[in-house]
A and B are shown apart, each in its own frame.
Chain A
């Protein structure tokens, strides 16, 4: 084998080993927060999904697909769920990057 190629392979192995094993060697969880899931990201995703549901229901109602009674009941329950999510987000406080 070409010595230059061998050197390149050794360098590659070292680079990969450092990149991959560094968190383990330093006991560093990196982007992982010790509490587990980033609750804000998960809640924001749930909130977006709920808003989409509210918009969908509203569009269905306005385009005549749903009876008014059905729509009002559905809209009420979806909004109640959305409010619960908003409350949970509020409970987390300001996101770190918006604090002054």
Chain B
């Protein structure tokens, strides 16, 4: 069946290349039937890649180890859920997922725009087809997911233990959907530049796709953070790792794009800026895909060194140079006749927010690539750690929190100074009160930047909530709605505005969680024997007893920890470490079960005010002598006897437990990071949700009637 998979990819490659040719030929006067044909070609690529994906998934489910990818990333004991998602744990499988998602997105947008944007769409089709051709070529010529094994093994190597986490299974598709989604507005921007149709129509047609991409990327980044927090065993959710940064950079510039396109829609301004932002966002998305695969920077998240890096660099260079040439050649058409009416306007806040977001992206870019830059300049590779990133990103993040509150308060074009005084009064008073209260009654003043962030957050939350309140009051002046009904009504009628406000709230809540957990966490590494107690952040943590577990695919050694505060039990935690059997025979028949790859299963007691987080590092040296003895005596014993020996060895650890090393962290307000993420997602969904057709018609007719009256009066 690998032959069929390879054939599907080759056909997809040919058809996507044909889509490029047919779209360009049709656009250049070859006839509209060629453009229709190119559109159908993209649909066909989506269908072919869907077949390829289904074929690969079925191989995973059937444990068909004649597929190299299945043999390397799955086994008969891998749970079905992880078999289904193992495809994207490898280089080639994840590239297949990338282009598959791209083809589906491309088909959707071409279907949605089949009756409009006739001039732009053929060029957008060619761009999308070109990207699909690139990825199909990679899969056909460089890293095929359909490599066959002549003599399939009876058992596969299994999934990388670190990836056996629900977040990790959804994290890559979400991230890729984000990266890929930005290719849609990018392709239409290129089409608009080529055809000089540079009004806001291409933005309106693809705005929803940009927002979907942004939402996917947001969820993907948060799921990655959640995985890091609960699986990697170091207790953090963000480490300024190059691959983490690579996903954050397109998110930042994409966020700037989503704001600044509103200025183009409303005021016909910032056209050069918007075109540049979407080109940068897509280039950064490609860069993110490249970083994970090139091996040029060390990262726990990367696939390791491979040969596809050069291909990606060539594509990135082509996208960047081609786009810059195109933008420069269209500068006259991109110039806007409008200027900012006032600095006290929403568009000026959007401009500031754009500068802060792009500045943040630049800082992260510099920090991420500093090892390469330093190596090029000095010959020595040195990297920049979290303190460097914090020094530059924190002030910019603070300014963004403030702007997130100011933006909603201002109207387009200009606001009156008297209104501004009134509008700022309440948020400023709440912020000042919060600042004083936090400084007097909590430890917040120990971290000045955190105190500033909490103050700004209080300002923004109050500003946004007061915006909802003003909207509700305005609605009630026009109708007899109750307060809840008025709230629902204004959100339904202005989904984009109020969905966006909810996103602002979510981001602020998230950043409060980040600030509190970064500045005020208490962390200790302690070595305890069963029965011993350590004090961490005001909690007594007692090592009650060791535990062990045995399953088909792993051995588990852990501990039960009793956590108390002032003598009262707060929680019982059960951190453990799982050991996955290695295929390396040199470790010995039994040694390979204890010395293979291991993962940390953290003990976590989440809470609204703090998380208590623990990880354990069992000391297995106690088992060295018994393991040597078991290897000597039972190496040739039948399987069931060997299973008994392994069970006896793990039982021995429990009976004679040596001291274990624990990392205990009392981490304030981490839960608010995930809650903030959910609010962000909710806000994005509100903004994305299409208006019901009936509601739209009603509104339309109301306004048509109003407009008719205006017209008759004129």
Q: Which residues of A contact B (CB under 8 A)?
A: 1-2, 5, 8-9, 12-13, 16, 19-24, 26-32, 34, 36-38, 41-42, 45-49, 51-57, 59-60, 62-67, 70, 74, 79, 82-83, 86
B700 engages A20 (CB within 8 Å): no
A20 engages B494 (CB within 8 Å): no
**Does B655 reach chain A (CB closer than 8 Å)?**
no
Instruction: Give the 6 A-B CB pairs with smallest separation, nearest first.
Output: A62-B474, A63-B470, A65-B411, A29-B32, A60-B411, A38-B115
Q: Specify which of A9, A24, A51, A63 is in contact with B4 (CB 8 Å cutoff).
A: A9
Since A41-B115, A70-B414 are in contact, a sample of 15 more A-B pairs with Cβ atoms closer than 8 Å, ordered by chain A residue number, is A12-B51, A16-B48, A20-B15, A20-B37, A20-B44, A29-B31, A42-B117, A48-B700, A51-B699, A55-B493, A59-B497, A62-B474, A67-B419, A79-B710, A83-B707
**Does B204 reach chain A (CB closer than 8 Å)?**
yes
Known A13-B11, A56-B412; contact A49-B204, beta-carbon cutoff 8 A: yes
Which of chain A's residues have a CB closer than 8 A to the CB of B34? 23-24
Q: Specify which of A12, A51, A67, A74 is in contact with B700 (CB 8 Å cutoff).
A: A51
Q: Specify which of A22, A36, A45, A83 is in contact with B118 (CB 8 Å cutoff).
A: A36
Give the number of chain B interface residues (Cβ < 8 Å).
Answer: 66
Known A13-B11, A20-B37, A42-B116; contact A5-B703, beta-carbon cutoff 8 A: no
| 13 A-B pairs in the complex with CB atoms less than 8 angstroms apart | A9-B11, A16-B44, A19-B40, A19-B44, A20-B15, A26-B33, A30-B33, A51-B703, A57-B411, A62-B477, A64-B423, A70-B414, A79-B706
Which of chain B's residues have a CB closer than 8 A to the CB of A31? 36, 114-115
B478 engages A23 (CB within 8 Å): no
Q: How far is the CA of A20 from the CA of B205 in the complex (A)?
A: 25
A60 engages B115 (CB within 8 Å): no
B116 engages A45 (CB within 8 Å): yes
Which of chain B's residues have a CB closer than 8 A to the CB of A28? 33, 36
**Does B3 reach chain A (CB closer than 8 Å)?**
yes
B707 engages A79 (CB within 8 Å): yes
| A-side interface mostly | helix
A54 engages B36 (CB within 8 Å): no
B266 to A, closest residue via Cβ: A53
B10 to A, closest residue via Cβ: A9
| B-side interface mostly | helix
A59 engages B494 (CB within 8 Å): yes
Q: Specify which of A1, A66, A79 is in contact with B411 (CB 8 Å cutoff).
A: A66
**Does B487 reach chain A (CB closer than 8 Å)?**
no
Q: Specify which of B7, B119, B412, B414 is in contact with A36 (CB 8 Å cutoff).
A: B119
Known A42-B116, A56-B494; contact A23-B415, beta-carbon cutoff 8 A: no
Q: How far is the CA of A86 from the CA of B704 in the complex (A)?
A: 8
Q: How far is the CA of A72 from the CA of B583 in the complex (A)?
A: 77
A16 to chain B, nearest CB (A): 5
B340 to chain A, nearest CB (A): 15
**Does B573 reach chain A (CB closer than 8 Å)?**
no
Known A36-B118, A45-B116; contact A59-B36, beta-carbon cutoff 8 A: no
Known A24-B33, A49-B265; contact A70-B413, beta-carbon cutoff 8 A: yes
Q: How far is the CA of A56 from the CA of B497 in the complex (A)?
A: 9
Q: How far is the CA of A56 from the CA of B494 in the complex (A)?
A: 8
List B residues 668-708 near A (Cβ within 8 Å). 696, 699-700, 703-704, 706-707
A63 engages B474 (CB within 8 Å): yes
Q: Specify which of B3, B118, B265, B415 is in contact with A66 (CB 8 Å cutoff).
A: B415
